[in-house]
Chain A
Amino acid sequence: MKQKLIYIILMFSLFSCDDFITLQPEDTINEGMFFKTSDDYETALIGIYSGLQSIHGGSNLMYISELMSDNHTIWWTSPTTNEMECNEANITTTNGFVNSVWTVCYAGISRCNNILTRIDQANFSDALKSQYKGEALFLRAYFYFYLVRLFGDIPLIEVAFRSPAEIADFDMTRKPVQVIYQRIINDLKDADNLLKNVSGLSKSKASAGAVKALLGKVYLTQKEYAAASEVLSSVMGMNYALLTDYSKLFSVGNNQLAESIFEVNFLSGNIGEGNSYSTIFNPGIFNMDIFPGGMIGHGTIVPTRDFANAYEKNDLRRWAILDSIKLTDGTYQHDLGARKFVDFTTGISGDGGVNFTALRYADVLLMKAEALNEIGFEADGEAFDLLNQVRSRAGLPDKTANNPVDSLKVANQIDFRLAIEIERRVEFVFEQQRWFDLIRTGRALTVVNNYFKNAGLNFTLEEYELLLPIPQAERDVTPELGQNTGY
């Protein structure tokens, strides 16, 4: 009896200890088992594209690029500090949107690096590898391009981190703008090589056209006009075209349209894949009756009166904004709202299904026109033609060098710059272009401060504010980041 009992007890005690306490999660994938097959890489790539939904979908970049400009203001009663700082051009180092743009863009970069540093060792077809590498390079450049324009000098990271120790050992200091741009341009050139023979890519993914259009924008920003003009011309040689109906570009169902070069896709249906354009672009009026279920606007990025007045008479693009809001009692309130990107079929906030047009043909035309004008003004030359293609789609008469109508007369290089600025403002409203356009052309201070003055607002945009502050939270962890002057 005694011995039997001891044996029984010993049996229970004799587990192999270290095996017993080594457990792996069963319901989630861990890094050790991933990054092996082509499917793994494709899945990892989807994860990068998903980051585009968060920068463009109405949570952070939208506030900085639209609300800080003269295009938009706030129309609800309880705006947050983050929102008001953007609206009043008074960004502080603790602004949540700034922090978020930084974090989301770098998260995207790290996901790109995860692919780029591992894919050469993976075992699948070279053709697919090229495609995935091309996509990852394009996306890395895409994120860096936003960061460098917003923050100036920034850390440059091209490795994949696997443990906290590796991060601690890495040089996180900021690298000069030129170095970042060089990286962007090299990545895009590589991506172009890798993707140029890949066909059949969806417009929600990187393609040779998207790479070239972005490269054109990078060159334009770098004031390398000849290079910009050249690469944009090659985009024009591809299979893109202006859509006849401007409104179709920004309404439910705007998938894979001829004008689209690179689009960020969303899907309605309460499955967590929608955007919040519908509510943020419309004012916060409780008894509005424009959405199902009585959903109301959130009013955080609504058009300014100044913007509404910027449309020329009979501009078809005025479709983009609402002049008044229908109320539940059938009357209308005279407040500005939006149609562009707004999904009137959903009554769920954050569940809009209209895709975001990140790069499109009209942009290519106007960028090319801008580049040509900077290379040299040519009265009624190619640049005029490009500008007028966009205007004509909007139902507007051509602008010419010697037009008898003053408002249609573009007599010199300076006038042409202004014509581009006016055109881009109305063409691309809500498309996160305005702030970057004003920065690129050096017009931000003049335009925004004029807007404040004319609207009777007691705010000023100062020169140092053309770059965002490095988020305080980042400097707390990495003091050697330093800060942009003025903050």
Chain B
Amino acid sequence: MNSYQTNLPLKRNALFQGFIFMSLLTIFFSTAAITDPTNQLAAAEQLRTVSGQVLNADGTSLPGVSVSIRGTTQGAITNAEGNYTLYNIPDNAILVFSFVGMKTQEIAIGSRTVINVTMESATIGIEEVVAVGYGTQRRKDVTGAISRVSGDDIIQPSTLSFDQMIQGKIAGVTVTQTTGAPGGNVNVVVRGLSSITGGNQPLYVVDGYPIGSGGGGSNFSTYGYEMFTADRMAKTVTNRINPLASINPADIESIEILKDASATAIYGSRGANGVVLVTTKKGTIGKSQINVDVSYGIQEIAHKLDLMNSREYAQYVAEGRDNAWVYLGGNIDDPNEVRGGSQKVRPEFRNPESITVNSDWQDVIFRTAPVQNYQVSSTLGTENTKFYISGGYFNQEGIILTSDYQRFSLRTNIDSKISSRIHVGTSLMGSYGYGRWPVTEGHYGQTGVLTMVAAAAPTIPVYDANGKPYFDRQDMTDGLGWLANPLDVLEGYSDKRKAANILMNNYVEYKIIEGLTLRSSIGVKYDDTTIKLFRTSAVPRETTLNFPATGAATKYETLNWLNENTLNFKHLFKDKHLVDLLIGISEQKESYDRLSAGAAEFPTEYVPYISAGIVSSGTHQLSEWSMVSLISRFQYSFNDRYMITATLRRDGSSRFGKNNKWGTFPSISLGYNISEESFMQSLDFIQTMKLRASYGVAGNNQIGNYAHIALLQPSNYIENNTKVIGLVPSTLSNDDLTWEKSKQMNLGMDLSLLAGRISLNADVYKDHKVDLLLQAKLPSASGFPSAMLNVGEIENKGIELNLNTQNIKTRNFMWNSNITFSSNKNKVLKLTTEGERITINSSQVAQAGYPISSYYLLHTTGVFMNAQELEGAPKIHPNNVPGDLKFEDYKPDGKIDLNDRYIVGDPWPDFIWGFNNSFTYGNLTLSVSLNGSRGGYNLLTQNVNSAGVQNQIKVGERWRSEDNPGDGKRPRAIRNNYAYGFGTNSDLNLFDNSYTRIKNMNLMYRLPQNLASKLTFSGLQIYLDIANLYTFTDYPGFDPESYAGGDNIVGTGEDNLTYPLSRTITLGIKATF
């Protein structure tokens, strides 16, 4: 055992912290419970026995229903006949009947001794209230496209943030987990890509507070490049922590996703990418309840790369080097002495059978790692004041050595009635997370550990004779995909980050007259992040060993404040006319402040902080935005049948040019509840049938803060051996710069059949994005190669289906399922000039007529099998021989060059789907979630290049000779990239990334109530949860969702190997007392 594979001190430390934390919380909540005012009331009441039967809606008896007395630990479970009996009940008690999949009912017993109850299915959800932004609506009044998912339905104990959990649960929402790094990035896209230059993430609103666009996590694409100078380290602005990780998923009551413009227009210039409303749990009236949820999981890598073994590798290297030597005019039988360095073949590689070392480098950096999650929450409240208090501790060690993330979180939500007219409340959230990020992504020359382990020759041993990480420069000389031992890199590079987040929002509501409410809120969000970077001289810079150590420290804070004042009038006239009017004003401002310093020339490397070196670089960045908005909404519903909602928002923003500072965002939507019509009443298998139609305009302001102002940037020179600062214009000014606008039309239908056993929500939409902000190409001769202009247009069209069914419902067994299906077609309609291609990266472009980020590549048509095929064929190089790649001469001129590229595909799936099931048998519940994606493509950029250097992912059989031509697709190995075309961008390594994933499986056992009560719990559940159980895919990379560009969603599709996902098995206990 070596020191790299264990991290015992850390583990113990984490366990200890968890323990202390839990203890403190328990003490806190116990105290709260003791002082609960409702506690003393129950004692002197008259007691009696109550019994009854619980039935299903179809009249069959319902066993296993929990019947409890609100505010006490007392309760029972219905037996096989659905009967229950409760003893010693006070007559002011309220019985709570609850059952999975059913609506919980609360019934005051009054003077009765027999209470029979018919349970109703909760899946219809038609009566539920939905958050719509600046208020709520009854589900049946909703006319926009809004999806809701309840917090309890998504919870996955081994998962840090809620964005990962909603994958596959909501139609129209694409969630991509691009990296498995603890605390890492997740991308959420609502209804297709909106923007080429601006952000594509939706707006997140937590309890009414718009916190920003999410994302901002983990762009790893240039990882490794910044870590070799103090200056670069100090100035690196890449973020690693997913900002949504600050929200504890256990606190979430519900998530609403506003999808169409009629729903999002109320968020004006920030609504175009969709809006995610997160509502946290509130206190309820009754005796305090304490919920504890503790889980412990084990993670392991879900899928390893299928790499060559030693013998395959040796053959491949020998072939590649022989071929390169022959290309240079040599003879294949020439000995090493006459060959150049990169054409020499190690003697043992000529005889692969003799090679005994067969290192699996992936096993060297991957480990099984624990993940722990502790949650405590309490709800308590009286008629006047309600509390929700919670605390959580999450600790995840990564499956790659040295990586980890921990989060502490606290929340307090208080709502209080000061008088019958004045309500005040606060929600207070604090979280503190910290972790370490290894240098996982990036080219192996930049010590990206994943490509290092994929590239390193399996013929190199992992440890030397002394048990130290092995390194021999000769292997590097021999070009065996090896520049350092990955273990030295993991140990030598340290990227530690911590983030503290506080969000506090206070409100006061004043009921002026019945139905007319003035609400005013003021909130502050403060985020503080510290980054400590250090690289020891053990991490080589490309081939330079002992590169002097560098370090940096960065601290940045974001202060955001919000004041909102709304006036709401809501009244039901004559029991038929429901009117809901809202007007308001909102002001928000954010300031970002970043300080950093970098140091080098560390005399020793014992202290990994800049204080131990010579501080030589630093920077101070400031950035602000502000906006002020006028909000209005009118809702009218006649007789629950005809509904209309109209919204109008005006936003003024600091981000836009002085001629376009203000924008107006209107929307209108109509609803028609056909099922309420009298002629529908005879069709009693239809419970609900509602048609919806909407049109609206929302905006996207994610373009950075000062895009309309001409800026200068430093460009330095040397005079008299001293660096002198120069300034050059970096951008042009544009007073007309304005919002990207999304004009969206939506048609929808909500249907509920067979007593709610089947419910369907279907939507079709067309979204026309105009005034897209593009970094439009200008003639470089102007000195400005590009400028930000509002010129582009994009269209998204799609279908979304959400189907809930109760498939089986017998006395003992129930199977409910939910299916989501979304298909979106994205198309660029217009760019700056006709036929323009905007380069997204080296392989992807945006071009009118095609989806954003389409692959623009040479098309390979196989391999030249023999000399005849080469005869007269268009070639990429005059010296092509059999075994080299054939390309399509797309621009037919008899030669192959970059002008033969064309659009060969795109990364976007044809459709995505989710299939979520819950099976209940007595006290056992099994939930299984599957999700998948079909028809997208990824370009795998690492370890599939035939260059005869790095170890390769086995993606096919290469051409070796005319007699052994392989699969006809993969070219021969040759240690010389250019001449044979695989140095050129082609679609050779474009792979279908379709997959079906068993995303989560959860088996829960609810202890029988009487047993739980004996153990003094009012409820006790034990569960086994398996996350990311298995992925069915032909994709050869770690994961089909892998993408190193993080939240830069337009670059999706280039997979240069990212932190792989883990499979996690978690055991947990949930107790209520």
Which A residues form the contact surface with B (CB < 8 A)? 1-2, 5-6, 8-9, 12-13, 15, 17-18, 20-32, 34, 43-51, 53, 77-81, 83-84, 92-94, 99, 102-103, 106-107, 109-111, 113-114, 154-155, 157, 161-164, 167, 170, 172, 202, 204-205, 255, 265-267, 270-273, 285-287, 291, 293-296, 328, 333, 335, 347-349, 456, 458-459, 471-474, 476-478
Contacts and interface: CB of A to CB of B under 8 A. Distances in A.
A270 B549 CA distance: 12
Given A46-B724, A46-B726, A113-B783, A162 B705 contact: no
A49 B779 contact: no
A145 to B, nearest CB: 16
Contacts of B949: 77
Contacts of B329: 456
A476 B836 contact: yes
A113 to B, nearest CB: 7
Contacts of A286: 341, 476-479, 543
Nearest to A45: B726
Contacts of A32: 709-710
Interface string B711-731: 111011111111111111100
A273 B723 contact: yes
A94 to B, nearest CB: 4
B836 A20 contact: no
CB-based closest 7 A-B pairs: A110-B783, A46-B726, A47-B726, A47-B728, A287-B477, A31-B710, A265-B718
Interface size band for B: 35 or more
A473 B711 CA distance: 25
B616 to A, nearest CB: 8
B711 A28 contact: yes
B726 A474 contact: no
B509 to A, nearest CB: 10
B74 to A, nearest CB: 43
Interface of B: 228-231, 324, 329, 340-342, 422, 473-474, 476-479, 508, 510, 512, 518, 520, 522, 541-547, 563, 565, 585, 587, 589, 600, 616, 620-628, 652-654, 658, 661, 705-706, 709-713, 715-729, 732-735, 776-785, 787, 789, 832-833, 835-837, 878-879, 897-899, 947, 949, 975-979, 983-984
Contact of A78 (B616, B735, B778, B947): B947
Nearest to A84: B978
Give the residue among B600, B710, B729 with the most A Cβ atoms within 10 A: B729
Contact of B732 (A2, A9, A28, A163): A163
A162 B720 CA distance: 33
B723 A163 contact: no
Contacts of B978: 78-81, 83-84
A252 to B, nearest CB: 11
A49 B726 contact: yes
Overall SS of chain B's interface = mixed
Nearest to B628: A17
Given A31-B712, A103-B785, A273-B718, A162 B623 contact: no
A161 B654 contact: no
Contacts of A81: 898, 978, 983-984
B347 to A, nearest CB: 17
B779 A474 contact: yes
Contact of B778 (A113, A167, A458): A167
Contacts of B589: 20
A477 B777 contact: yes
Give the residue among B654, B726, B777 with the most A Cβ atoms within 10 A: B726
Given A78-B947, A92-B897, 8 more contacts: A21-B626, A23-B626, A162-B710, A267-B723, A347-B544, A349-B541, A477-B777, A478-B779
Contact of A46 (B510, B716, B721): B716
A73 to B, nearest CB: 12
A167 B784 contact: yes
B711 A31 contact: yes
A204 B719 CA distance: 7
B861 to A, nearest CB: 20
A34 B776 CA distance: 25
B734 A49 contact: no
B565 A9 contact: yes
B710 A30 contact: yes
A327 B983 CA distance: 28
A296 B508 contact: no
B788 to A, nearest CB: 9
Given A48-B726, A78-B983, A477-B833, A272 B716 contact: yes
Contacts of B783: 106-107, 109-111, 113, 157, 161
A20 B626 contact: yes
A26 to B, nearest CB: 5
A72 B604 CA distance: 43
A271 to B, nearest CB: 6
A486 to B, nearest CB: 13
Contact of A34 (B543, B727, B778): B727
Nearest to B522: A12
12 contacts: A1-B422, A50-B726, A77-B947, A157-B782, A202-B719, A265-B718, A270-B228, A271-B723, A347-B544, A348-B547, A349-B544, A473-B777
Contacts of B422: 1, 5
A459 B878 CA distance: 9
A79 B543 CA distance: 17
